[in-house]
A and B are shown apart, each in its own frame.
Chain A
Amino acid sequence: MTGHIARIRMTRDVTVTAAFVSLIVLLVAVAALTSDTFLTQTNLTNLLKQMVTTGLLAFGMLVVILTGGIDLSVGSVVAFSGILTAGLVSGLPIPVAMAVGVLSGVGFGLINGVLVARFGLAAFVVTLASLTTIRGLAFVYSEVPIAPEDPAFFTLGSAMAGPIPVSTLIMLAVFVVGGVFLTRTPAGRSIVAIGGNAETVRLAGINVPRHVTLAYTISGACAGLAGVILASRVGIAQPSVGVAFELDAIAACVIGGASLAGGRGSARATFGGVLVLVLINNLLNLYGVQSFWQQVLKGLIIIAVILVQRTNRVRG
């Protein structure tokens, strides 16, 4: 009987993956057939660039969600790291300014992690508080947008490696390295296991608070990187950017089958979730759907995707 369950589980995973891939293919096909602009170089490049922010945030979010937590502060971190970098460019070499921007994200993530893991506060509350705190800090740093004049500032966000934007490659690398981290390193397995059963992990001699802190730090680093890339791509850093970005990141994880209770989810499936989300966005834009309706449709589509997954799981 148990062997049977394993078989079901495996075929179910295959079915879910197949369903996923066909959904993405379907979206692409619909887009290609119904819109003249979808397959144009400009649109595809745009699409690849737009994926970067959601992708980076989604991976960081996944790591936190795997521990059974949540990071609501990522949108604010995007704004802060972007505006900090743009502000520092005038006085520091660009790579250093960018590194400082990313490090600010690491720092915020570390603080979130310590508050959640060492002080045992609820992740939702901690990161909700840091969402508003960090957003405030971004405005304190500069109330007005900062647009650096040095063209080298735009390189990270706009450079191309052949047909593919460099920033997209960076995001892909994060997923590849991150996927290996989650499946093949002791720390990655520990993070997944903590979301499944923290007490078991603790009794196995693994330092749970340290790994939970690491998860939030990774999320902060991803958000910091996303902020720097976004500012570089747009060419201007705004303290108001990134509102509600955390929702897209969470949605991508959930579409990818991650459980908000922790312990279940993968980098690969989350990347699939990012693709679905970005394709839907792009499609709605191409159709010229009004932005408020876009929000409505996006919400409904997410619910539909999750329902389909749920029925698959139950049937399996």
Chain B
Amino acid sequence: MSLELRGVRQSYGDVEVLHGVDLTGRPGEVLAVVGANGAGKSTLIRVLAGAQRMTSGELRIDGERVDLRSPHDAHARGIRTVYQELSIVGGLSVTENLLMGAFPRRRGGLIDWPEAHRRAQELLDSAGFGAIDPRVLAGRLSVARQQMVEIAKALAGEVRVLVLDEPSAVLAGSDLDALFALIRRLRERGVLVVYVSHRLAEVMELADSIVVIKDGLIIAATEPARTSETELIGLMAGRRLEQIYPARRETTAETRLAVSRLSRKGEFEDVSFELRAGEIVGLFGLVGSGRSELARCVFGAEPATGGSGAYRSPAEAIAAGLALVTEDRKRSGLVLGMTVLDNIALATMRANRRGPLIDTAGRKRRVGEMIDRLGIQPGGCATMPVAALSGGNQQKAVLAKWLLAGPRVLILDEPTRGVDMATRVDIYRMVDDLARRGLAVLLISSDLTEVLGATDRVLVMREGRLAGDLRSEATTEDEVLAYAIGQAA
């Protein structure tokens, strides 16, 4: 079916975030929507999903004007949405998650489990995710598999429009291939797929048409054949980006962190490496290779079971000048219920006191300076709840917290995941700047391009062991990947 948005405006209170969006999607089309953080993509998705009633404008399905009153309404019309945030219930089986509320019954009202599992399996098979066993608890599955269950769930019943919000963020390798194959099959079946993603390479590969949304407006509509990634980035950012990655730096000989034969049972083994002042070192590995576990252990968050170089507690690590920006800012980077000020000052409260009390004036000044220096938007947001910031700015707030502690070694775990290109470039510049000031940086990333472009050296992990130590200039993406999957010569 064809879907048409005309002059869609959306306001929250007295602030308008969509300023008249026009969008047309045809059956059997993959329509990519790209845009920076805060451009209005999420709001657009919510409107399509029926989760948000548009303030003005209209939605037409096959030319007929439709008013989506609720997500249920959208669902009934064949519009399915898979959000970035998973809604899987971990304590229930995959079957229960898939059939939620629509179980086959025996006479007498009891659930017919064999039939339920059969239907669930059928759904998974038809989505191309047949490898998932519907009987297991959803919480036992990897995040990637949970995402696949989520997508399969959206495909129950008659689907005419499928909206995918950053579906590939947690997928890699064969899982990603399965997703792409599914999207192509849906396209052949005449489904309109609205694909929202930061990953431009994917968009260029998959999409039939691309729209760029910026500041609540569609500013460009194009096709992969007529554009390039660079042009899209420029459009999203509203400026031309000359260079994504900064030029390389001179590294010094001063060792800032030396880890020797470090092990943690069941996670990684016998890992040795050094970080020098002024150096940015990438740490690459597939999911499950032990990258984040290694970082957490070095930082003292989990005890090591062998080797040396790791700190015994985060407090000790911080005292020695380490800072760890974790992978999941909501779970371990921020206290969402607190203000920006409280969050940024969290790691330095004890150091900045007047007698027993926090030096509130000094704290406010220091945090304010950090907000300005990192360009956290909106400016002067110190007293706002940190949850009100956009994702990219929340990430900057986490970084600000650690920079305030004046670190000598900075460990960044996936700092650009779910962050748009323009903000990424900001982050690369910032990290480069810090390295130039003499910090040693460990950049953990599963983005090959980034791990080579932004670093001086790349450590590659495979199944808990260090498989390679390569100079970024002298290696290739293929070589790094070969080390990561164990096929290096």
A249 to chain B minimum Cβ distance, whole angstroms, is 22
What distance in Å separates the Cβ of A219 from its nearest Cβ neighbour in chain B? Answer: 20
In the complex, whether A37 has a CB less than 8 A from a CB of chain B is no
A9 and B388 contacting across the interface, CB-CB below 8 Å: yes
A5 partner residues in chain B, CB cutoff 8 A? 384-385, 388
Q: Evaluate whether A193 and B301 lie within 8 angstroms (CB atoms) in the complex, with A1-B17, A201-B346 already known.
A: no
A186 in contact with B349 (CB, 8 Å) = yes
How far, in angstroms, from A196 to B334 measured CA to CA in the complex?
9
Q: In the complex the two chains form, is A196's CB within 8 Å of B337's CB?
A: yes
Known pairs A2-B388, A207-B315; A8 contacts B13 (CB<8 A): yes
Instruction: State in angstroms the CA–CA spacing of A199 and B318 once bound together.
Output: 15
Q: Do the beta carbons of A4 and B315 come within 8 Å of each other?
A: no
Number of chain B residues whose Cβ lies closer than 8 Å to a Cβ of chain A: 45
Contact A6 B315 (CB under 8 A): no
Q: B366 in the interface, Cβ–Cβ < 8 Å?
A: no
| Sample of 10 further A-B pairs with CB below 8 A, known A3-B381, A200-B346 | A1-B17, A2-B388, A4-B15, A6-B388, A186-B349, A193-B338, A196-B338, A200-B332, A203-B301, A204-B346
Which A residues between 169 and 186 are near B, CB-CB below 8 angstroms?
180, 184-186
Contacting chain A: which of B123-131, B260-268, B354-362? B354-362
Contacts of B301 in A (CB 8 A): 202-203
Query: A118 within 8 Å of B by Cβ?
Result: no
Cα separation A1 to B216 with both chains bound (whole Å): 11
Q: Which residues, 247 to 285 on A, are CB-close (under 8 Å) to B?
A: 259, 263-264
Q: Does A228 contact B (CB under 8 A)?
A: no
Which residue of B13, B335, B347, B360 contacts A205 across the interface (Cβ within 8 Å)? B347
**Measured CA separation A165–B358 after assembly (Å):** 33
Interface string of A1-32 (1 = CB under 8 A from B): 11111101100000000000000000000000
Tell me whether A196 and B336 are in contact in the complex, defined as CB-CB below 8 angstroms, given that A4-B15, A205-B317 are known contacts.
Answer: yes
Which chain B residues lie closer than 8 Å to A206 at the CB level? 315, 346, 349
Given contacts A6-B388, A186-B358, A193-B338, contact A200 B381 (CB under 8 A): no
- B383 touching A6 by the CB < 8 A rule? yes
The answer, yes or no, to whether A197 is at the interface (CB within 8 Å) is: yes
State in angstroms the CA–CA spacing of A197 and B334 once bound together.
7
Q: How far is the CA of A9 from the CA of B14 in the complex (A)?
A: 14
Give B29 Cβ to nearest chain A Cβ, in Å. Answer: 30
Selected from A203, A205, A263, the residue in CB contact (under 8 A) with B326 is A203
* B462 within 8 A of partner (CB): no
- Interface pair A189/B357, CB less than 8 Å apart: no
What does DSSP make chain A's interface, helix, strand, loop or mixed? Answer: helix
**A138 proximal to B (CB < 8 A):** no
Q: How far is the CA of A192 from the CA of B335 in the complex (A)?
A: 10
Answer yes or no: A190 CB below 8 A from chain B CBs: yes
Known: A199-B331, A203-B326. A190 touches B349 (CB 8 A): yes
CA distance A264 to B378 in the complex (A): 24
CB contact between A2 and one of B313, B319, B360, B384 (< 8 Å): that residue: B384
If A199-B331, A203-B301 touch, whether A6 touches B347 (CB-CB below 8 Å) is no
The reply on B428 being an interface residue by CB < 8 A is no
Report A-chain residues with C-beta under 8 Å of the C-beta of B45. Answer: none
Is B52 part of the contact surface with A, judged by Cβ < 8 Å? no
Q: Is the Cβ of A185 less than 8 Å from the Cβ of B358?
A: yes
- Are B385's CB and A184's CB within 8 A? no
* A4 / chain B contacts, CB cutoff of 8 Å: 12-15
B342 within 8 A of A: yes
Chain B contacts for A186, CB-based, 8 A: 349-350, 353, 358
Cβ of B324 < 8 Å from any Cβ of A? yes
Name 23 interchain pairs, CB-CB below 8 A, sorted by A: A1-B12, A1-B38, A2-B381, A5-B384, A5-B385, A5-B388, A6-B384, A184-B357, A186-B349, A186-B353, A193-B346, A197-B332, A197-B334, A197-B335, A197-B336, A199-B332, A200-B333, A200-B346, A203-B301, A203-B314, A204-B318, A204-B401, A205-B313
Residues on A with beta carbons closer than 8 Å to the beta carbon of B393: 2
Tell whether B389 is near chain A: CB-to-CB under 8 Å.
yes
In this assembly, does B195 line the interface, its C-beta being within 8 Å of a C-beta of chain A? no
Residue B308, interface by CB 8 Å: no
- The reply to whether A6 and B331 contact each other, CB–CB distance below 8 Å, is no
Contact status A180-B357, CB under 8 Å: yes
List B308-329 residues whose CB lies under 8 Å from chain A: 313-315, 317-319, 324, 326
- Residue B251 at the chain A interface, CB threshold 8 Å: no
Q: A9-B388, A196-B336, A206-B315 are in contact. Are A2 and B378 (CB under 8 A)?
A: yes
Cβ of B378 and Cβ of A3 under 8 Å apart? yes
Instruction: Please give, as numbers and ranges, the residues of chain B lying within 8 Å of A196 by CB-CB distance.
Output: 335-338
Q: Which residue of A lies closest to B331 (CB)?
A: A199
Residues in B neighbouring A259, C-beta threshold 8 A: 337
Task: Please give, as numbers and ranges, the residues of chain A lying within 8 Å of B313 by CB-CB distance.
Answer: 205
B15 CB contact (under 8 Å) in A1, A185, A189, A195: A1
Interface centre among A5, A8, A201, by most B CB within 10 Å? A5
Determine whether B299 belongs to the interface, using a CB cutoff of 8 Å to chain A. yes
Give per-residue flags for B129-171: 1 if the beta carbon is below 8 A from chain A beta carbons, else 0.
Answer: 0000000000000000000000000000000000000000000
**Are the CB atoms of B342 and A202 closer together than 8 Å?**
no
A290 to B310, CA, bound (A): 66
Most chain A CB inside 10 Å of its own CB: which residue of B38, B332, B350: B332
Docked CA distance A192–B336 (Å): 12
> Contacts of A1 on B, CB cut-off 8 Å?
12, 15, 17, 38
Tell whether, in the assembled complex, residue B315 and residue A205 are in contact, meaning their CB atoms are under 8 Å apart: yes
Residues of A within 8 A of B17 (CB): 1
Instruction: Give the distance in Å from the alpha carbon of A141 to the alpha carbon of B181 in the complex.
Output: 75
User: Most chain-A Cβ atoms within 10 A of its Cβ — which of B318, B336, B346?
Assistant: B346
Interface assignment of B2: CB less than 8 Å from any CB of chain A? no
**CB < 8 Å neighbour of B334 from A190, A200, A202:** A200
Q: Interface centre among A184, A200, A259, by most B CB within 10 Å? A: A200
Q: Is B377 within 8 A of A2, CB to CB? A: yes
Q: A6-B384, A185-B358, A204-B314 are in contact. Are A197 and B331 (CB under 8 A)?
A: yes
Taking A185-B358, A197-B331, A205-B315 as contacts, is the C-beta distance between A2 and B336 under 8 angstroms? no
Tell yes or no: B390 within 8 A of A by CB.
Answer: yes
**Chain A residues, CB < 8 A from B335:** 193, 196-197, 200-201, 263
CB pair A185–B388 under 8 Å, yes or no, is no
User: Complex Cα distance A8/B385, Å?
Assistant: 11
Residues of chain B contacted by A199 (CB below 8 angstroms): 331-332
Contacts of B349 in A (CB 8 A): 186, 189-190, 206
B residues less than 8 Å from A6 (CB atoms): 381, 383-385, 388
